[in-house]
Structure 1
């Protein structure tokens, strides 16, 4: 049976009345007539905002192309430098970011976990899903992704080490990154098995924050919370003047902060 929506002056009100009518009559109707008496009337911003909040449109094509190009340039530049970076002191087994963009992280051509997460998050954004527990980014371990990279989000994540692995500590200290989407905000948890609080921790936080900002920029979500879990947090007092040395560092930082 046909339905007639009471005419409205602007398109927002007309849309809303139509939605209300169809919803009240079961959610599906045929031959529904909606009339807008002044199609050029200013939009109702409240109606527009409500629609946008539900649809959560992804980046426009031109914006997406710019983001893709920027990301591709970053990946290519970094992976091109990987062999050289691996010769630097402290990097003989690769780098954190190298493992993220070219797993297992010693040369170009590996599996790009970040690019896969960006594609996945964009699909979530496009579908309007704003709450989701997402997958991991592998940093520790030696796992290989499956042949089907669309399924690799679940295949490469928290690593299981062999029973014969007796290492107490070593690269990488950062072993796991987890991404979670809640109310349109992308949050990150990073797990370190040994966090050097003087020589490494601040730089790690800067890097993680930039990584989270990059993922949010590439996918259209807002930046949420960044959390770091250190299974061992180390002030390194033996190398920085003992407890007095660390206290002096704290006092200095606090005074500058004030």
Structure 2
């Protein structure tokens, strides 16, 4: 269990725990964040290391969960965001056809394949429910990413979707909590961007209902060190200490 008010610090603590303990996984891991501070110098240093290893930058990973830049571009209008995202979705899938063949995270949130019911905008259902402020059934405040009809495959290696599920909760003081669930998460390549993207998603929902995001909690079945050895992980920590003063 890692509880912090800084995304950068939480990521570093997770990496340190894996390095100091046997194996290269944490099973399970719970990360709970408030205030959502971040070290810009840390982000620059991590992005530089990711680029060196031909991995996506933190911002790129975060945008797969919530396309904040598109939200800003559309004047913080969520309906324009939905429409604009679905319009460019074919291009997004074409850019990385191997990863996006079964869909994208934000697509599953706003256009989940409901079979005979058609496409379901799970986020809009949650937002309109929260706007009422009288939640008769809290189980309604959840959205699925994993789709058994598409994702139960026999492939030996499947990267999407690692994020399975998100739920929302309104506290007695009217603030918002976002919970997320991962079967497997890749610490080096994805975790920081995942957490940032989910926090941005929570802030989006909070903004749309006129409140603030109070806490983000991520439940992970298996947190993997993925592409790094422990010695490489320690070298990365040393680099962060030097460049980001962490």
Q: Does 1:73 align with 2:80?
A: yes
Q: Tell me, in whole angstroms, the C-alpha distance in 2 between the residues paired with 1:133 and 1:99.
A: 18
Q: Tell me, in whole angstroms, the C-alpha distance in 1 between the residues paired with 2:177 and 2:108.
A: 20
Q: 2:189 aligns with which of 188, 199, 205?
A: 199
Contact 1:213 1:223 in 2 (8 A): yes
Instruction: Extract unaligned runs of 5+ from structure 1.
Output: 1-66, 144-160
The corresponding residue for 2:200 is 210
The corresponding residue for 1:181 is 170
Greater strand proportion: 2
Q: CA deviation at 1:74?
A: 0.6
**Structure ID, larger Rg:** 1
Q: Deviations over 1:97-146 (max 9, x none)?
A: 011011139xxx722111111111101x2x4x699565211100147xxx
Instruction: Extract unaligned runs of 5+ from structure 2.
Output: 1-73
The corresponding residue for 1:51 is none
Contact 1:191 1:228 in 2 (8 A): yes
Contact 1:133 1:179 in 2 (8 A): no
Q: Does 1:249 align with 2:236?
A: yes
The CA RMSD over aligned residues, in Å, is 3.0
Alignment of 1:164-175 (within 5 A): 170=158, 171-175=160-164
SS in 2 for 1:199: helix
Q: CA deviation at 1:229?
A: 1.1
Q: 2:218 aligns with which of 228, 232, 255?
A: 228
Q: 2:107 aligns with which of 98, 102, 108?
A: 98
Q: Tell me, in whole angstroms, the C-alpha distance in 2 between the residues paired with 1:182 and 1:169.
A: 39
The corresponding residue for 2:142 is 136
SS in 1 for 2:215: strand
SS in 1 for 2:77: helix
SS in 1 for 2:147: coil
SS in 2 for 1:194: strand
Q: CA deviation at 1:246?
A: 0.8
Q: Tell me, in whole angstroms, the C-alpha distance in 1 between the residues paired with 2:140 and 2:238.
A: 39
Contact 1:130 1:182 in 2 (8 A): no
Contact 1:176 1:192 in 2 (8 A): yes
Contact 1:131 1:181 in 2 (8 A): no
Higher relative contact order (CA 8 A, sep 6+): 2
TM-score, normalised relative to structure 1: 0.56
Q: Tell me, in whole angstroms, the C-alpha distance in 2 between the residues paired with 1:219 and 1:120.
A: 9
Contact 1:103 1:111 in 2 (8 A): yes
Q: Deviations over 1:32-67 (max 9, x none)?
A: xxxxxxxxxxxxxxxxxxxxxxxxxxxxxxxxxxx9
TM-score, normalised relative to structure 2: 0.59
Quick one: structure 1 residues 193 and 257, their matched pair in 2 at CA, closer, same or farther if it must change by over 3 Å?
farther
Q: Tell me, in whole angstroms, the C-alpha distance in 2 between the residues paired with 1:228 and 1:251.
A: 26
